[in-house]
């Protein structure tokens, strides 16, 4: 079956003469198109929210999220998945990005496996009904993604398609389509489509982690302090959340072996570190653990 060319491949009349302009005007046009991409992502909030809620149910049952993509879309998926652990303290296996062609293709664009449908199916071969498969393709037709979504769906996993083509030929349980239209440079989906894709994936993963209790308000209580700068950020976070002085927060953090949620629950409730740790193990999220210990709502 022949499909029409996706809108991302059309020529953009707003930038038809971009090569004749001064640098400032070139930049203005490029950034104006990026602003349109963010607006397109915002317009897709409805299906994106459904994807977050459905994914949360799977993760609550012990499942994990798997991204599948190629080219610029796939590289953005790798970026998003890689940042989940340091930002939210989530297990590394909670988010996995599968890139067409593997690690070698990730850094060498000459290795192009986006048409390998069976490779996508093989990469999704370990998924189960507990999991979430997110296929990322600006055109909505990448065959690697098609194979992954097909195999994931057959296993009973939740399938989500993130695309910039409202008429994408690929199908999924939930389709999140950011209608970005033609690129500033015809067909260069690393531009506007890439911006929309990054915005959608960032919003999806962040909202999912918030819903899972891995933040406290807008504070990143799950961040992993892997260097001195992040260590000081952890102390500042505790000061902000509790109103205690830095010395008190630093001591609580040390007693919790650097685990911010445990230190925060201890400071908010006055409970011993062991009791705070047990409450967090039983109740996901700082707010739930504090409530279980009878602490104040803040």
Spatial separation of the C-alpha atoms in residues 44 and 142, rounded to whole Å: 21
Of the residues 22, 93, 114, 179, only one is catalytic, namely: 114
Strand order in the sheet with 174-177: 95-99, 65-69, 132-136, 158-163, 174-177
Angle between helical axes of 246-255 and 260-269 (0-180°, round to 10): 120
Q: What is the dihedral of CA 221, 79, 171, 56, to 10 degrees?
A: -10
Q: Is 244 a catalytic residue?
A: no
Q: Which of 296, 206, 219 is nearest to 261 (CA)?
A: 219
Pull the structure tokens for residue 1.
């079956």
The encoded tokens of residue 195 equal: 């911006």
What DSSP designation does 140 have? Answer: S
CB atoms closer than 10 angstroms to residue 230: 15
Active site residue 114: yes
Please tell me whether residue 142 adopts helix, strand or coil conformation. coil
State the sign of the Cα–Cα–Cα–Cα dihedral 185, 187, 193, 197: negative
List 221's β-bridge partners, or say none.
none
List 9, 32, 83, 282, catalytic entry: 83
What Cα–Cα distance (Å) separates residue 222 from each residue in 66, 131, 188?
A: 21, 22, 36
- How far is Cα 73 from Cα 248, in angstroms, rounded to an integer? 45
Helices (H) and strands (E) in the chain, counts: 13, 5
The one-character DSSP state at 6 is P
Cα(14)–Cα(174) distance, integer angstroms: 32
Q: Which residues are catalytic?
A: 83, 114
């Amino acid at each position: 079956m022949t499909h029409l060319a996706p809108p991302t491949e059309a020529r953009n009349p707003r930038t038809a003469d971009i090569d004749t302009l001064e640098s400032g005007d070139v930049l203005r046009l490029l950034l104006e198109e990026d602003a349109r991409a963010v607006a397109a992502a915002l317009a897709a909030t409805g299906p994106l929210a459904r994807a977050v809620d459905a994914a949360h149910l799977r993760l609550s049952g012990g499942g994990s999220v798997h991204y599948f993509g190629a080219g610029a879309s796939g590289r953005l998926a790798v970026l998003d998945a890689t940042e989940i652990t340091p930002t939210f303290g989530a297990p590394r296996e909670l988010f996995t990005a599968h890139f067409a062609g593997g690690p070698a293709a990730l850094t060498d664009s000459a290795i192009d496996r986006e048409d390998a449908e069976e490779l996508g199916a093989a990469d999704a071969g370990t998924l189960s009904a507990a999991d979430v498969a997110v296929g990322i393709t600006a055109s909505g037709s990448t065959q690697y993604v098609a194979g992954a979504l097909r195999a994931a769906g057959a296993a009973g996993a939740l399938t989500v398609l993130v695309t910039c083509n409202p008429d994408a030929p690929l199908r999924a349980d939930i389709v999140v389509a950011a209608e970005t239209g033609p690129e500033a440079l015809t067909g260069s989906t690393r531009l506007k489509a890439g911006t929309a894709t990054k915005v959608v994936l960032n919003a999806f993963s962040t909202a999912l982690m918030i819903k899972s209790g891995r933040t406290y308000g807008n504070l990143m209580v799950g961040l992993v302090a892997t260097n001195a700068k992040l260590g000081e950020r952890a102390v500042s976070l505790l000061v902000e959340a509790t109103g205690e002085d830095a010395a008190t927060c630093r001591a609580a953090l040390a007693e919790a072996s650097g685990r911010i949620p445990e230190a925060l629950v201890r400071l908010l409730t006055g409970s011993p570190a062991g009791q705070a740790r047990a409450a967090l193990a039983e109740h996901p999220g700082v707010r739930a653990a504090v409530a279980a210990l009878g602490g104040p709502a803040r």
